[in-house]
Amino acid sequence: MISVSQLTKAYGPVLAVDKVSFEVPKGQIVGFLGPNGAGKSTTIRMLSCWLAPTSGGATVNGFDIFHQSEQVRQHLGYLPENVPLYMEMTVEEYLDFRGRLRGMERELRRKRIDYVMQRCWLSTVRSRVIGHLSKGYRQRVGLADTLLHGPEVLILDEPTVGLDPTQIRETRKLIKDLAGEHTVMLSTHILPEVEAVCDHAIIIAGGRIVAQGSLEELRSTRRATARVLIECRGPAADVQTALQRVSGVHKVEMLNGDDARSSRDKNYVTAAIRQKDGFDVREEVARTVVQSGWPLREVRLEHATLEEFFVQVTAGQAVSKTQESAS
């Protein structure tokens, strides 16, 4: 549904987006992740035909963003981070106005306005002036406008910014409900949002794509750094020495402070075990602790998180860009 090839945007000598390529499959929700200044908004503005690319190209629903921008807009719903609204209009007046701008016939406008109001929880405020609504309701009006013409593709830029926890939960549920019926590209820097809503993720940093794939694929690249946490009652030094001798254990680190619940119980210690490739040491370390006479409270495998992966790849890209600039 969205196909991007070598898309580039330069502002003088500065490359805001540097030869970006990716695909967003039909009917899926794809998270577009990156730190502030990574090039997310610039990429989205090019895909929505707000900005012309310096080079490269992209298609949205089969239409070229450079040569067929009018057709792209007809098949695309775009929600910017800061939603531009006419504050003096009522919700219904605004949506009707937006439908007329899109050339929608009166009967179709009526049906679609009723539909998007119900879908975005706006029915109770349809006659309210937009300027009198809360931030959350204004965001819903923007989302309703995005859905009004029934676009096949939705691009949502930070759709939950400024919302309270309840509104965030409702908005995420709505976005998930849209999958299948629409293809959704969700731009955000909020990692829990991606994990709660998206099927795939694309990570951009320094204007370049640094990783992309399903969430499980991205996490799996960090599995070597997953760790086994074991909590038991025993002398920390002795526990560390015994666990270090277990076959398949690469490194044992004794945790304290915020990393260990046992810090609140001085009789218990927590060890974080890094495993060698191809090993699962949970059974053996549990047996070692029990045979040593130390009461065992917990053994669990802590998988690498998307947050860890995100920090790793974006930090690596920052170092790479710094080295390139120096050379």
166 and 280 share one domain: no
Say how far apart CA 167 and CA 137 lie, in whole Å: 9
> CB neighbours (10 Å) of residue 269?
25
DSSP conformation letters of 181-204: TBEEEEEES-HHHHHHH-SEEEEE
Residue 315 lies inside a defined structural domain of this protein: no
Burial 214-238 (b: 16+ CB within 10 A, else e): ebeebbeebeeebbbbbbbbbeeee
120 and 211 share one domain: yes
Question: What CATH number does the domain containing 255 carry?
Answer: 3.30.70.100
What global pTM score does this model have? 0.75
| Residue 88 confidence (pLDDT) above 50 | yes
Q: Point out the domain boundary residue: 180, 200, 220.
A: 220
Q: Point out the domain boundary residue: 180, 205, 220.
A: 220
Residue 45 lies inside a defined structural domain of this protein: yes
Residue 260 lies inside a defined structural domain of this protein: yes
82 and 134 share one domain: yes
Residue 119 lies inside a defined structural domain of this protein: yes
**pLDDT tens for residues 91-109?**
999 999 999 999 999 999 9
Check residues 223 and 304 and name the one with the higher pLDDT: 304
Q: In the chain, what percentage of residues exceed pLDDT 90? A: 62
* Number of separate domains in the chain: 2
**pLDDT tens for residues 129-184?**
999 998 889 989 999 999 999 999 999 998 887 778 888 888 888 888 888 789 99
Which range marks the domain in which residue 60 is found? 2-220
Burial 164-180 (b: 16+ CB within 10 A, else e): eeebbebbbebbeebbe
Task: Give me the pLDDT at residue 317, please.
Answer: 61
184 and 112 share one domain: yes
